[in-house]
Structure 1
Amino acid sequence: MTATIIGTQGLTKRFGAITAVDGIDLDVREGDVYGFLGANGSGKTTTVRMLLGLVLATSGTAEVLGRPMPRDGRHVLPQIGALVESPAAYPRLSGRANLRVHDALAHGRRATRKGRVDQVLEQVGLAGVDERPVAAYSLGMRQRLGLAHALLGEPRVLVLDEPTNGLDPQGIREVRDLLLQLHRGGTTIFLSSHLLAEVEQIATRVGVLDRGRLVVQERLDVLKRPTGRTYVRTPDVAQARALLDGQVESYDERSLLVRVDDVAALNALLVRGGVRVSGLAPERHTLEDVVLEAAGASSDRFES
């Protein structure tokens, strides 16, 4: 059985009368790209901070890499690369100088420091960065620098909170490609985000947080199961509608959406009726459908 990398039981955080995280049981397994989804204010960042020992839980437990957090943080944290909220940096130093300082504080080997710093700057698209101070960086550049910091120690696990915040579409694609590359290399990734479309492209498993409660936790391929309806592409829409009276749920000038149990029988019926079929494809649940149904929320709480 695949090892659990991040696991919680009844993890809860209250701030006075407000319950930010309400008894969640996370199960992030080795090799996952775990998409931790929720609208802004749903409790995602508070959860991430508890996992890293930055905030103490009110009740419940959390384990990372098989060790309790925050008690065993000194053993766990060197194996984790994290980017939480606004990336920390010394504003008067350059990005490269910041990474050298962080590496020294983490007791990285001095002899190989330059090579490690250059490598992570290349990975995040800052290889050509000049010596200007971080105070002059754009938000997107700061995010890239924060991600470089997370990668500096070649971590077993990446814990990322909204890593594409402030990036343009090209930057978002580059970060996505980098995460997929790291995943192929064996890195487990815990990715907190409210961007459904981005998570849908890279996640293997998904957890959905709504008002502090974990309302969905499942493999993405299971969530995106077929709906039981089939798209039929044909130039003979009117003819197909006549043959499928009562089964057509929607249509346009080039296709129909049909509820049917046997796709092969559907195709045979259409062909016998003289309908030119150019394609048949099952309709699948989208991640947006699953999330919004589970959260009972309006679509403007998430971005797709």
Structure 2
Amino acid sequence: MACVLAIDIGGTKLAAALVDREGTVLRDGTVPTPRDGVMAALAELIARVTAGGPRPMAAGIGSAGPMDGVAGTVSPVNMPSWRGFPLRESVRELTGLPVVLAGDAQCFAVGEHWLGAGRGSASLLGMVVSTGIGGGLVIGGVPLLGPTGNAGHVGHMSVDPYGEACECGGRGCVERYASGPNLARWAREQGWRGPDAQALAADAEKGEAVAVAAFERGARALGGMIVSMAAAVEVTTVVIGGGVANAGKVLFDPLERAIEETAGLAFVKAVRVHPTTLGIRAALAGAAKLAWDH
């Protein structure tokens, strides 16, 4: 049976799967991401997933970044043992397969466009809103990866040039307002006493004023960025996943209002926002699709 090898590399887990042309997972596995020896753990996982199965035709990798798509190297923030690590070549040598490499949020977008909430969309922005905010674009059915493979870094689009300084060195970045840790940080600065964004969402659901205000503030930042993307490349569909998206209506209701209040042109107002339907499977699906297309 024809299949490809899909790999998803993150700071907390490594995942791999054999995936057929229709997107069906034939075999899969996950392991925690070790602090050191990441490649050895990945090699063992790949061997387990592929042992006794059909020979894959190619491999697709979605990895946390930053990355250099030209060189095929990655430097994931949460994986200190990998700095400028030659991931694409290492997997090619390990498997003997042609390999395509993209960011994990880009693979999320590709997966949702192929099999998920953005299926068949003419122009899609996929976003992962979690500890950070990443994204990817699929325009006319084709992933937009950019010259160095870093297109879609929507978390570091500025929505306020006079706003807060961001850890990336920029100012007024969406991530500074709408990521999970920054939602909770701002709420604590206003007197909220909870531990994290999950607790903040639960309090917002109950109507606690500061928690509600934190999500409205984050939603305005996300809405401003979405409106800007719609104006720039006529995005018609936005799919949002990640831990913060699990807040549900607490996030999506103020986000819908923010877009309506911010958008002016008719084609910008036409953008539609959906929660992920693939969840944690989206990045693997996107990596598989990139491998098939490759």
**TM category, shorter:** under 0.3
TM-score norm. by structure 1 comes to: 0.26
Choose between structure 1 and 2: higher helix proportion. Answer: 2
Q: Please identify which structure carries the higher strand content.
A: 1
Larger radius of gyration: 1
